[in-house]
Amino acid sequence: MTVPDRTAHHVGFGEDTRIRDIASATESPTPGRSAARNTPPASSVTTALRLASVDLMSGAGSSTGLRVRLATVADAAAMLDIYNPEVEQRISTFDLRPRTFDEQRRWIADRSGAFSAVVAALEPAGEAEPSIVGFASLSPYKERPAYSTTVENSVYVSRQHGGQGIGRALMNHIINVARDSGFHSIIARVEASGEASRALHATCGFRLVGIEHEVGRKFGKWLSVAVYQLEL
């Protein structure tokens, strides 16, 4: 989702190029901090990952509910419909090859606890089926144990559903998950020309901490990365 022109945006793309070994990144708790980062208390995870809802207006005289819930493997196709066009047509992700259906199912199934993926589902009034319009997740920031209190975020919103607050609802949800799970910091890495994504981060309390110049190349052009941080 891009705020001004209602196109999709990506928030933080580091984990999209790889699925990290979560166990290797959580071996040693940080002294003096909650061990929730490594083995979150069941009550905290349950609280953090419970379903959240936001009311949206879909048009005059009608209302549509937006529900943020845990992703299941049944959501794989809908998530690919959002993600793969970003791979093939946009620079919001640095992935170069679209994911397959089986890869997306594994990506969902392999995530658990605070790293579980969530989806935003629009639930129209009446009997219509909900539609998946966005998804988000947290991932370990780096593999070495001293980084274990920091996570990296990732948010995608359908380009057909921009300007409706979906990105912010997903962002707020995963911020709450990170906080309730005992993390100290969230890092976001945004393609530097993505003004809407950068504005969303600023609105949600992130601050710009640096620019990585020309660290990627896609569609024959050099890409830079804006690094944002939120201390919880």
**Of 128, 121, 138, nearest to 52 (Cα)?**
121
Q: Do 137 and 174 form a contact (C-beta atoms < 8 A)?
A: yes
> What is the homologous superfamily of the domain 10-183 according to CATH?
Gcn5-related N-acetyltransferase (GNAT) (3.40.630.30)
Mean pLDDT, the chain, as a whole number?
80
**Of 152, 163, 216, 212, nearest to 188 (Cα)?**
152
Its sign, for the CA torsion 226, 83, 87, 221, is negative
pLDDT score of 5: 31
Find the mean pLDDT for residues 164-183: 96
**Of 167, 205, 38, nearest to 115 (Cα)?**
38
First to last CA, the chain: 25
More confident of the two residues 207 and 123? 207
Residues 174-199: pLDDT tens digits? 999 999 999 999 999 999 999 999 99
Domain limits of the chain? 10-183
Q: At what angle do helices 76-89 and 101-109 cross, to 10 degrees?
A: 120
β-bridge mates for residue 66, sequence order: 54, 122
More confident of the two residues 125 and 136? 136
Residues 6-33: pLDDT tens digits? 334 454 444 443 333 333 333 333 333 3
Alpha carbons 46 and 42: distance in angstroms, whole number: 6
What predicted TM-score, i.e. pTM, was given to this entire model?
Answer: 0.76
Alpha carbons 201 and 171: distance in angstroms, whole number: 9
